[in-house]
Amino acid sequence: MTFQSPWWLLALLVVALLVAVYVVLQLRRKAYAARFTNVALLGSLVPKRPGWKRHLAFGLVALGLATLVVSLAVPSTEVRVPRERATVVMAVDVSLSMEAQDVEPSRFQAMQRAATEFVDVLPERINLGLVTFAGTATTVVPPTTDRAQVAVAIENLDLAEATAIGEAVFTSLAAIENFQASLESAGEEPPPARIVLLSDGTNTVGRDDTQAIEAARAAGVPVSTIAFGTDYGTLDIDGERVPVPVDRAALEEIADQTGGSYSEAASAAELEQVYADLGSQIGYTTEPQDISPWFVRAGVLVVLLGAVLSLFWTNRLV
């Protein structure tokens, strides 16, 4: 919980002062009573008071006042709300190494399932595009709010040779730039953009990672990367087992240098969780929600309870 007007909390010192005055008065009353040696005479002069009940009633009133003071400081809690606008391009690796079965049922099938869930996680107003890359990179679906179009494209992906990670970033940036240009021509302000890139291998063709990093930084577009697979993946090529370990270092460097986030997934479940986390980060934001009305209600009820008990027990308010 945070406070939007914390200076009002200084008013709690006034409540503390009232409590201190009350305590002093009670101590003075006891000191005055101690002067009488004739207990019977004291009882006839000073009517019997309800003791702890009187203190309880005052304590409730003081607590209620403190609660009302806290409400003036506008207490707030953080709540998650969908982003109104954003552009996300999902770039997925469809190189032949994705056929490796170190992730069940295979890297490729696990990626398809997790990517489809990512499509469903994002709020409706987020523009989502799809880029695939192997030896080249292709914009399969330009940024759109049509989730069905992206989901169908993911289901119909095909594998190809080589891995062009750098080209995937450049193609994603081009898709974002074209989309933003269309918005500007329509008189709309382009929303913030991000690339989510999944791969299991090293860049083997096309422009290198360094060039891609420079382009993404120049465009102000963070690239969040996911290293998917294990160190023990293999492919059967002409009867020979060829190792296809995941390359983490390059993907981590891209994320670090562009201001994105880096994640690793060595199983289908982990990949689904990574996509869910990214969907939460990208599609939602946190905003303060004023909860001072709750403190006002609680404060008023507690003050009223204390006042009622005081009248019932002592025939006076406090």
Q: What pLDDT digit, counting tens, does each position of 49-61 carry? A: 556 676 788 888 8
Report helix, strand or coil for 10: helix
- AA letter at 128: L
Adjacent-strand bridge partners of 92: 132, 198
Q: Which two three-digit tokens encode residue 174?
A: 């081009």
pLDDT digits (tens, 9 = 90+) for 253-276: 999 999 999 999 999 999 999 998
151 or 42, which is more confident: 151
Mean pLDDT of 192-198: 95
Q: What secondary structure, in 3-state letters, does 66-80 show?
A: HHHHHHHCCEEEEEE
Report helix, strand or coil for 57: helix
Percent of the chain with pLDDT over 90: 53
Q: Which of 252, 263, 257, 259 is nearest to 202 (CA)?
A: 252
User: pLDDT-based confidence at 316, cuts 50/70/90?
Assistant: low
Query: Are 131 and 175 in contact, with CB atoms under 8 Å apart?
Result: yes
Q: What is the pLDDT of residue 88?
A: 95
Q: Which residues neighbour 46 within 8 Å (Cβ) at sequence distance 6 or greater? A: 33
Domain ranges across the chain: 2-78+289-314, 83-266
Report helix, strand or coil for 159: coil
φ, ψ of residue 157 in degrees (nearest 5)? -70, 145
Residue 311: its H or E element: helix 292-314
- Cα torsion angle, 233, 235, 239, 241, sign: negative
- N-term to C-term CA, the chain: 32
Task: Give the span between the Cα atoms of 199 and 93, in whole angstroms.
Answer: 5
Q: Which two three-digit tokens encode residue 13?
A: 């010192």
Query: Are 173 and 88 in contact, with CB atoms under 8 Å apart?
Result: no
Rounded-to-10 torsion of CA 106, 111, 113, 114: 130
* Cβ neighbours around 212 below 10 Å, total: 27
CATH level 3 topology of 83-266:
Rossmann fold (3.40.50)
Task: Give the span between the Cα atoms of 310 and 50, in whole angstroms.
Answer: 10
- Supply the mean pLDDT for the chain: 87
Q: Are strands 262-265 and 240-243 parallel, antiparallel or unpaired?
A: unpaired
Burial class (CB in 10 A: 0-12, 13-18, 19+), 123: middle
Query: Are 176 and 89 in contact, with CB atoms under 8 Å apart?
Result: yes
Percent of the chain with pLDDT over 70: 87
Report helix, strand or coil for 241: strand
Question: Which residue in the block uniquely carries the two structure tokens 């398809």?
Answer: 112
pLDDT digits (tens, 9 = 90+) for 90-106: 999 999 999 999 999 99
